């Protein structure tokens, strides 16, 4: 595990946005924002809408999210754009990659951490 106290998680591999909620299964719905905000603002906006920042905990979820982005023409043209993701927070307030996310990092070659104050679009999910 890697501990990071002042960084938040972003999927740099994915960019662009949508204003619609798009169902990917009966249980999950995703929302891609149009606006770029800080990680805290992204989290707050998702929660206020009854959603949460996307948290990828398995390869099945990663595949479902990639399908959502591909099906809705949300894959990036610019490799430096991306969406805020949830990350995992320790009780001491720091964030870390868990084992699954570390594997996803190697698989996608696009997971990255950035300062929480950077402005990025965000992905919300409802379960």
Q: What is the pTM of this model?
A: 0.63
Task: State pLDDT tens for residues 14-60.
Answer: 333 333 444 455 555 788 887 888 888 888 888 888 888 887 777 78
For domain 2-126, is the CATH number 3.10.100.10? yes
Within 10 A of 62 (CB to CB), how many other CB atoms are there?
A: 19
Within 10 A of 80 (CB to CB), how many other CB atoms are there?
A: 8
Helix or strand run (H / E) with residue 47 = helix 39-48
Which of residues 42 and 101 earns the better pLDDT score? 42
Instruction: Work out the percent of the chain whose per-residue pLDDT is above 90.
Output: 0
Q: Give the C-alpha separation, 62 to 28, whole Å.
A: 13
What residue ranges do the domains of the chain occupy? 2-126
* 7, 114 Cβ separation under 8 angstroms: yes
Q: How many residues does this entry show for the chain?
A: 127
Q: For the CA atoms of the chain, what is the radius of gyration?
A: 13
């Amino acid at each position: 595990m890697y501990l990071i106290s002042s960084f938040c998680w972003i999927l740099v591999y994915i960019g662009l946005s949508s204003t619609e909620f798009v169902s990917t299964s009966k249980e999950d719905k995703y929302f891609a924002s149009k606006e770029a905000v800080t990680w805290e603002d992204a989290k707050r906006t998702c929660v206020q809408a009854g959603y949460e920042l996307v948290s990828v905990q398995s390869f099945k979820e990663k595949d479902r999210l990639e399908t959502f982005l591909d099906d809705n023409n949300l894959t990036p043209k610019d490799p430096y754009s991306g969406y805020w993701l949830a990350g995992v927070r320790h009780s001491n307030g720091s964030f870390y990659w868990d084992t699954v996310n570390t594997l996803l990092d190697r698989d996608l070659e696009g997971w990255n951490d950035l300062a929480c104050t950077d402005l990025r679009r965000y992905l919300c999910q409802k379960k």
